Amino acid sequence: MQSWQLPEYIADILPSGARQLESAKEKLLALFRSHGYELVHPPLMEYSDSLLIHIDSGLSLKTIRFVDQISGRQLGIRADITPQVARIDAHLLSANQGINRLCYAGSVLHARPEGFLNSREPLQAGAELYGFAGIAADIEIIGLMLDSLALADFGDVLLSLGHIGVFRALAASAELSPQQAETLLAMMQDKNVAAVRGQVEAWALDGMWRKAFSLLPTLYGGREILAQAREKLPDLSLIGKALDELEAVCQAFPQQAVHIDLAELRVDNYHTGLLYAAYGSDGHDAVARGGRYDGLGGYFGRSRPATGFSFDLRKFLGRLPQGGRRTAIAVALADTADAAEEIARLRAEGETVVVDYGMEANSTRDGSRRLLKQDGKWVVLGD
């Protein structure tokens, strides 16, 4: 193996892409700030006990762990920033009993990629709202997610909605054991309708529950699915509440293309209610995902209602509006001392000024503008 080779699903980002990423990050953080979301920077690594929160086996498989040479305790490199932000809200910001709006943008590391086209080092950006249990908080967050994607060219964005509460209400009413619920949830996630039907029959569940679980994977489509679900699913208060929340989101975005799937349960184990994702017009993978995760902060000493979303900023590469970046101004090495004051002034105004050492690669990359002295004054010539 050559010394310059990188691990699989790990890649360098070259200057053009790096500029795009920084531009996307700057615009996103400005958008978050305009909605009242304050930036936090959690550390890249923590004690694994804090990162893994004891409930998410999927997160555990993603997390790379090693022994701390100072304390001897096990450390982990974060695979998801959301639990870290929940820790910050629960512990470091516990003096605020009201709403906390927090945002972030930073690298995470996955032991395995989430798909063949994804990096093992996503640049995760997102926003979280803590302290309000009402559906209005979810609507605010979903609106911010859609506004974030509008900064780039993802085409006609499709908003996908689900609700883990429907499945969990059925599982509780059917008196499934935690292991049975986990088994059935995995089948739902795989969209294996035949396996779901076979499993509930093998467990000899009551006919009403067999019918409901078998029906759940077929309840997907447009806004009309909500009426069908109210008609066909058991009349349980928690199911009614979940459908009411989905209805409220649909009404909040009347012009938005919406897809509802009551068996779309591809969630982290800490999610507790409404689920949402956004898809671009040219892809099958979600560009952004989020959901409600009430109580996650309880693992850090303060249980609070919470909702939020995140996405990989790398998905913005090649989708941001181009143009507006001027070429650099080249100044000959021999002129740098004499032109030092003018160079400083130009840089203070936001211009890029580079020293031309007379090498072809340098002058080709930095464009055709040059700083030259004419009639005793320094002027910029060229396009």
Binding site, annotated residues for L-histidine? 80-82, 124, 128, 266
How many C-beta neighbours within 10 Å does residue 189 have? 13
What pairs with residue 45 in β-bridges? 77
Residue 317 CA to residue 196 CA, distance in Å, equals: 39
**Residues 6 or more apart in contact with residue 187 via CB below 8 angstroms:** 195, 196, 199
Identify the CA nearest to 218 among candidates 249, 263, 248, 183: 263
Sequence ranges of the binding site: 80-82, 124, 128, 266
Rounded CA separation 106/356 (Å)? 35
Query: How many angstroms separate the CA atoms of 38 and 127, rounded?
Result: 9
Can you tell me the distance from the alpha carbon of 200 to that of 196, in angstroms, rounded to the nearest whole number? Answer: 6
Q: Which residues is 331 bridged to in the sheet?
A: 355
Write down how long the chain is: 383
Measure the CA–CA gap between 83 and 323, rounded to whole angstroms.
38
What interhelical angle do 135-149 and 15-34 show, nearest 10? 150
Integer Cα distance of 294 and 296 in angstroms = 6
| 63, 77 contact by CB (below 8 A) | yes
Q: What are phi and psi of 213, to 5 degrees?
A: -65, -40
